[in-house]
Structure 1
């Protein structure tokens, strides 16, 4: 279950909010309305896909259905000046 703190509560117990974020998101409110969410770095990376390797991404279900046609590379040669 997510934790909800007012901005004032967050300011008064930042360490407690960080501990709570290890168990799930911590919603921080301004004037009773959600304004921010505190997450552990692991949860953020999971949501953002920050730890996924290309192998993990290619192994995802449905990955074979994703259209991917990169542009052909245009390699040009040029003279080298050995001086």
Structure 2
């Protein structure tokens, strides 16, 4: 069900009853702004998707031995560099 924010304010009990059946999308100036749903549906949606991770957590390896890896980077050859003109 989709309702405007004005309809939501005027018919709160109708929106609450509808939310027990399906999520209610509340629009603001024609754009979806909010979703009203039952608490049980909200809990189910939280279980369905994984917890939020920051970029750092997502990129940090979980294997403790990863820190033991040594990476040798050879020095860059100066022959490949072009002279700089000022």
Q: Normalising by structure 1, report the TM-score.
A: 0.56
The runs of 5 or more residues in structure 1 that have no matched partner are 50-67, 71-83
2:22 match: secondary structure:
coil
Where in structure 2 are there 5+ consecutive unaligned residues? 48-61, 65-86
- Give 1:69 shift: 6.6
Within 1, Cα distance between the matches of 2:63 and 2:42? 30
Aligned to 2:67: none
**For this pair of structures, how many residues does the alignment match?**
51
Runs of 4+ in 1 over 6 A off after TM superposition: none
> TM-score, normalized by length of structure 2?
0.54
Select the residue among 4, 7, 21 that pairs with 1:6.
Answer: 4
Bigger radius of gyration: 2
